[in-house]
Amino acid sequence: MGKFYITTAIDYCNAEPHLGHAFEKVGADAIARYHRLLGDDVRFVTGTDEHGQTVLQAAQERGVDPQQFVDRMVEHFRRAWDRLGIAYDDFIRTTEPRHAPAVQALLRRMADNGDITPGVYEGHYCVGCEAFKQEKDLVNGRCPEHPGREVTWTREENYFFRLSRYRDPLLRWLDERPEFVEPEIRRNEVRNVLLEGLQDISVSRARFPWGIAFPGDRDHTVYVWFDALTNYLSAVGYPDERYREWWPADLHVVGKGITRFHCIVWPAMLLSAGVELPRRVWAHGYVTWGGTKLSKSAGVVITLDSAIDRYGPDPLRYFLLREVPWDGDGAFSWARFDERYVADLANDLGNLANRTVNMIQRYRHGFTPRASADALEHVAFEVLERYRSAMDADLLHEGLAASFRLVDVGNAFVEESAPWNLAKEPSHAAKLDEVIGGLARLLARVAILLTPFMPSKTQELWTAISGREGPPPDLGTYGDPDVGGGRVRVGPVLFPKPPSAA
RNA sequence: GGCGGCGUAGCUCAACUGGUAGAGCAGCGGAGUCAUAAUCCGUUGGUUGGGGGUUCGAGUCCCUCCGCCGCUACCA
Residue among A13, A25, A99, A129 flagged as catalytic: A129
Q: What are the extents of the domains in chain A?
A: 3-308, 333-501
- Residue of A468, A487, A44 lying closest to A459 (CA atoms): A468
What are the strands, taking DSSP E only, across A294-444?
330-331
Q: Using N-to-C axis directions, what is the helix angle for A429-450 and A351-364, rounded to 10°?
A: 150
Q: Is A277 in a helix, a strand, or coil?
A: coil
Question: Distance from residue A303 (CA) to nucleotide B26 (C1'), in Å?
Answer: 27
Question: Distance from residue A418 (CA) to nucleotide B32 (C1'), in Å?
Answer: 10
Instruction: Please give the full DSSP string across A205-245, using - where no structure is assigned.
Output: EET--SSPEETTEEEEEE-HHHHHHTHHHHTTTTTSGGGGG
A208 Cβ within 7 A of any nucleic strand B atom: no
A349 touches A407 (CB < 8 A): yes
Q: Which residue is nearest to nucleotide B73 (CA to C1')?
A: A260
What residues form DSSP beta bridges with A122? A155
- A35 catalytic, yes or no? no
Question: Distance from residue A325 (CA) to nucleotide B59 (C1'), in Å?
Answer: 22
Q: Which CATH number fits domain A333-501: 3.30.70.980, 1.10.357.10, 1.10.730.10, 1.10.3470.10?
A: 1.10.730.10
Interstrand relation of A292-293 and A181-182 (parallel, antiparallel or unpaired): unpaired
CATH 3.40.50.620 is held by the domain A3-308: yes
- CA–CA dist A219, A408 (Å, integer): 64
- A133 catalytic, yes or no? no
- CA–CA dist A318, A39 (Å, integer): 23
- A126 catalytic, yes or no? yes
A110 touches A161 (CB < 8 A): yes
- CA–CA dist A36, A4 (Å, integer): 9
How big is chain A, counted in residues?
502
CB count in 10 Å sphere of residue A127: 13
A480 touches A384 (CB < 8 A): no
Report residues 354-373 of A contacting strand B, contact meaning Cβ closer than 7 Å: 354-355, 358-359, 362
Interstrand relation of A11-12 and A3-8 (parallel, antiparallel or unpaired): unpaired
Phi and psi at residue A232, to the nearest 5° = -65, -25
- pTM of the shown model: 0.94
- A18 catalytic, yes or no? yes
Q: Which nucleotides of B are covered by protein (CB under 7 A)?
A: 3-5, 11-14, 24-26, 33-41, 68-76
A32 touches A44 (CB < 8 A): yes
A498 Cβ within 7 A of any nucleic strand B atom: no
Question: Distance from residue A238 (CA) to nucleotide B71 (C1'), in Å?
Answer: 33
Provide the residue-wise pLDDT of chain A in tens; the chain has 502 residues. 699 999 999 999 888 898 999 999 999 999 999 999 999 999 999 999 999 888 888 898 899 999 999 999 999 999 999 999 999 999 999 999 999 999 999 999 999 999 999 988 777 766 555 556 666 555 555 655 555 566 677 778 889 999 999 999 999 999 889 889 999 889 988 998 898 888 899 899 887 889 999 998 988 999 989 999 999 999 999 999 999 999 999 999 999 989 999 999 999 999 999 999 999 999 999 898 876 776 655 556 788 999 999 999 999 999 999 999 998 888 898 989 999 999 999 999 999 999 999 999 999 998 999 887 667 898 999 999 999 999 999 999 999 999 999 999 999 999 999 999 998 888 988 899 999 999 999 999 999 999 999 999 999 999 999 999 999 999 999 999 989 888 999 989 999 998 765 5
Q: Using N-to-C axis directions, what is the helix angle for A66-83 and A53-61, rounded to 10°?
A: 100
A476 touches A39 (CB < 8 A): yes
In the DSSP assignment, the letter for residue A367 is B
A201 touches A77 (CB < 8 A): no
**Distant-in-sequence, close-in-space partners of A412: CB < 8 Å, separation ≥ 6:** none
Report residues 92-131 of A contacting strand B, contact meaning Cβ closer than 7 Å: 121, 131
Residue among A13, A124, A133, A143 flagged as catalytic: A143
Closest nucleotide (C1' vs CA) to A285 is B70
Question: Distance from residue A185 (CA) to nucleotide B54 (C1'), in Å?
Answer: 29
- A428 catalytic, yes or no? no
Report residues 165-194 of A contacting strand B, contact meaning Cβ closer than 7 Å: 185, 188-189, 192-193
- Residue of A359, A337, A385, A373 lying closest to A488 (CA atoms): A359
Residue A211 Cα distances to A49, A51, A104, A461, angstroms:
11, 5, 12, 48
Question: Distance from residue A414 (CA) to nucleotide B30 (C1'), in Å?
Answer: 19
Adjacency order of strands within the sheet including A217-222: A204-206, A217-222, A213-214
Q: Count Cα neighbours of A215 within 13 Å in the Cβ-side half-sphere.
A: 17
ipTM over 0.90: yes
